[in-house]
Structures are given as structure tokens and as C-alpha cells.
Amino acid sequence: MSETEEKLIADGKRLDGREFEQLRPIQIEVKIINRANGSALVNFGETHAVASVHGPRALFPRWMQESDTGILRCRYNMAPFSVEDRKSPGPDRRSVEISKVSRLAIEPAIFLEDFPKATIDVFIEILQADGSTRVTGINAASLALADAGVPMRDLVTACSVGKINGVLVADLNGKEDNCSEADMSFAMLSTKKKITLLQMDGNVSKEELMILLNLAEKSCEKIYEMQKKALKEKYKRV
């Protein structure tokens, strides 16, 4: 470790006390917005994301419609108060990029062909950011779609993995994300083992990449069980 590299691991543990493969405390709640067809709140530690789904509904203007399939539209946004230094409101280059990759991660789960000329709109709002915001938002969006009753092949489950101080870890928080040697965003259809998102910044060896992929899959399996439990709890309340 270089003199300028920040120490993120001490006494065999990360600075927040977690083991290398341990996820942060995760809280999930569905059906939190009455005016949306479906909604969910997902917290990964201090990262809080809320997602709402509107549709399927007719798409206007008509020239935007597809005659043989529906369209999924996704908007990711960070609230101005979500970070320590106030973020300028409105879309920026990063939010446009994450909106696109979130849509591509979620799209394979939905039977869009059942809704020609229609749209399904997904809004992801990051209320508080402490790393891994895009994967937290994808988890919330997947649950919101299920809450809305949108026909899905599977839930989409997402997590982050990476390399800090030479160690491979799961679920990077903000400090780890900013100071990591590598960080990967990963999403999959859990029961089908189909990867729908794979983005990485940094450098790792081929062997490390395979370990990270395995770690991401195991982490998603844990999150998937939490997603199912949250959906079941919704119907228990009803």
C-alpha cells in the first residue's frame, strides 16, 4: 500500500467493522407510495433509494409507440440533499448514464411483449448516498415492479463488489467506493443465473475477476431472499 493510499482495512476488518464478504444492514419495504402502481424503499446501510412504477399505460405521443412491444423508461436521480456537498438539482451526465444501465439491467425481467404500444415508467430517487447507489436503486426498482403486478420472469437483484487495499470485498460503502482499487456493479436474474449488469472501474487480475463474480452472485442470492421476504410481508399486512 502506497503512502498516499488510504487505509480501509484494520485488524482484519473493514473500517465499519464488517467482514470482507459481509453486506451492510439491509432494510426493504414495499408499497410506500399510494399514488404509484408500485413502489419500494431499499436501504443498504446509509444508502437509501426509493423507486416508483407507473404503468403499464398507453404511451403518448403515439409516434413513440412500438406496435409489437411495450417500452420501459427509467429515470435515476440523486436528491440535492443526498450527499454532503449539495448536488445541483436536475439531470447530469452521470444520472443519464445510470438511468440507461438501470433500464438495461431491469428490462430482461419484464414481459414487455405483452404490452404493445404501452410504457412502464420507473423512477429511482436516491434520498441518501453512501456508495453503491445504482445497485441499491435497481433492487428498489425490481421490487416496485413486482409490487405493481407487472409480469416478470424473475426479480432483478443487484450488489457491488470490489477491491480495497488488495482485498476483495462485497457491498462497498461510500469511502470504500471512492478509494477502491476496483469496484464492480453487478445485477442478475437470481433463479435463472442470468447477468443483466456488469460494470467495473479499476484493474484486477483474471483470477480476481472470477472471485469477484462468484462473490457478487453469492451476495445477490442473500439479497434475493430478503426481496422475497419483503414481498410476502406486504401480503401479510393486507
User: Taking a C-beta distance cutoff of 8 angstroms, is the pair 192, 153 a contact?
Assistant: yes
For residue 188, how far is the Cα from the chain centroid? Answer: 10
pLDDT in tens, 114-161: 999 999 999 999 999 999 999 999 999 999 999 999 999 999 999 999
Please count the CA atoms within 13 angstroms of the CA of 51 that sit on its side-chain side. 36
pLDDT of 1: 42
Residue 122, in any domain of the structure? yes
Is residue 8 a part of any domain in this protein? no
Phi, psi at 165, each rounded to 5°: 50, 35
| Gap between the Cα atoms of 39 and 165, Å rounded | 38
Is residue 92 included in any domain, yes or no?
Answer: yes
Instruction: Identify whether the C-beta of residue 46 lies closer than 8 Å to the C-beta of residue 28.
Output: no
Asked if the structure places residue 3 within a domain, the reply is no
Domain count within the chain: 1
Q: Is 177 contained in some domain?
A: yes
Q: How confident is the model at residue 87 (pLDDT cuts 50, 70, 90)?
A: confident
Does residue 186 have a pLDDT over 90? Answer: yes
Burial class (CB in 10 A: 0-12, 13-18, 19+), 116: middle
Residue 202 · residue 182 · CB < 8 Å: yes
The set of cell numbers assigned to 30 is: 414495499
Q: Give this prediction's pTM.
A: 0.94
4 inside domain = no
Instruction: Tell me which amino acid residue 10 is.
Output: A
Structural domain includes residue 5? no
Evaluate whether 129 touches 160 at the Cβ level (below 8 Å): no
Domain of residue 105: give its range.
Answer: 15-232
Q: Which residues pair with 48 in a beta bridge?
A: 43, 128
pLDDT of residue 238: 59
How far does the chain reach from its first CA to its final CA, in angstroms? 54
| Residue-wise pLDDT tens digits, 55-68 | 999 999 888 888 99
The answer to whether residue 174 is domain-embedded is: yes
List the CATH number of the domain containing 122. Answer: 3.30.230.70
